[in-house]
Structure 1
């Protein structure tokens, strides 16, 4: 395992991953509601390929977590979140509904925040 980033501004890392999570999970609001919708749900409408692309983007959060020195257990949980979202999201129609409710990027960001708050 690589050493955690030393000297890197954790506030900048937090801002970067917050932006990515907002973009993927809640960049748009459904009119007349307060329900957020993001690129993960939108590109997930493209069968299989859309979910693969969204999963690949979600792997970036895992890479950031690895660079921040998260434990292997936490990284495994993050990978499971992305894998579960990608696998079930690729099921036509039902997967699109699942993508709307299971927000793996938000879950992974919560794990990273918990790690940063403990530091």
Structure 2
């Protein structure tokens, strides 16, 4: 006799794999420290930060579909925005991106919700839509600000 599988199990496994790929897929030789593709994407001007944030937003979207409450979703978006904002600072931002690991933090939030014996009220669809739209707009604004500052610096250096 087989038992029915929880439909979230496979989805959760894929989200774990995705977050590990983004934040801890590669071991730095000679150390125990791991990095992922997200900091490497961040090395690409503008597009890398946008791509990383969009993939991170997918994890938030999936968490919302699994019934994660508003406060946890807000914390997840905060993790992504902080990583994106600090990530725009050359060198320091890349080091922060390696250490912060927003996607792994977000998976911890998701898994703590799923493992909680107390049911929480899931966020409604409009909240999730506005939250993710706000995240995307904020990421675009952060990247635009970073590019503008970079253009000012380049202009000052080569003037």
Q: Same fold (TM over 0.5)?
A: yes
**TM-score normalized with structure 1 length:** 0.89
Pairs aligned (count): 113
Structure 1 or 2: more helix by fraction: 2
SS at match of 1:34: coil
Distance in 2, Cα, partners of 1:111 & 1:37? 20
Partner of 1:16: 14
Partner of 1:100: 98
Following superposition, the deviation at residue 8 of structure 1 comes to: 5.7
1:7-65 CA distances to partner (integer Å, 9 max, x unpaired)?
Answer: 96121121011100110011111111111110011111112321121111100110011
* 8 A Cα contact 1:29 1:37, kept in partner: yes
Moved runs in structure 1, 4+ residues, more than 2 A?
Answer: none
> What 5-or-longer segments of structure 1 have no aligned partner?
1-6
Higher Cα Rg: structure 1 or 2?
2
Distance in 2, Cα, partners of 1:8 & 1:67? 14
Within-5 A mapping of 1:1-119: 9-118=7-116
> What 5-or-longer segments of structure 2 have no aligned partner?
118-159
